[in-house]
Amino acid sequence: MTPDQVLAEFKKAGALLEGHFVLSSGLHSDVFLQKALVFRDPARTAKLCKALAAKVRKEVKAKLTAIVSPAIGGIVPGYEMARQLKVPAMYVEREEGKFRLRRGFKLSKGEPVLMVEDIVTTGLSSRECLEAIREAGGKPVAAVCLIDRSGGKAKIGVPLISLAALDIPAWPADNLPPHLKKIPAVKPGSRGLA
């Protein structure tokens, strides 16, 4: 699946939005990828994750034993990637502001884990999820996402595999371009909800 085909799936789902958005990272952007509109369609989600799983099989040499995703946005693609790769799916949630495995999820010491995200912008949630995996005893061998908004610039400490790497501009609140200053900002992301 090419990056253009991935974006076409987001467009068909009505998930490629334009306006003024505050991202989960705190940065502002004139483009928002509302992956929830993609994930509401099981066939579309399976199609995207099947393509991503094929990349994982090709690029990750370790024998994976689990998928771990950050809540909320990573739960659906994490589950579908686990289905595609035939391994268990788990997710981390924020507890007192820090990601942790909960709900009886456990990892064995040194267990090879694939971290699955939805969209990566700065990589902050990915780094926090990877740290939670390590703290639980797992060994993150790679991370994957549907779209890498950083265009390959986000450094998370393990290889990051994406279906599409886009360089979508994002700005700090105190350095907005003129066209965003004229539009009220909305915050459609999930940080702070879980």
* Integer Cα distance of 55 and 77 in angstroms: 15
Quote the pTM value.
0.87
* Mean pLDDT, range 89-106, rounded to an integer: 95
Whether the CB-CB separation of 128 and 70 falls below 8 Å is answered with yes
Q: How far apart are the first and last CA of the chain?
A: 31
Q: Is there a contact between 121 and 154 (Cβ–Cβ < 8 Å)?
A: yes
In the DSSP assignment, the letter for residue 134 is H
pLDDT at 24: 79
Residue with the bigger pLDDT between 152 and 161: it is 161
Residues 141-178: b if buried by 16+ CB within 10 A, e if exposed: bbbbbbbbbbeeebebebebbbbbbbebebeeeeebee
- pLDDT tens, position by position, 1-42: 999 999 999 999 999 999 999 987 788 999 989 999 999 999
Q: Quick check: 62 pLDDT over 70?
A: yes
Helix axes 42-59, 75-85, angle to 10 degrees: 60
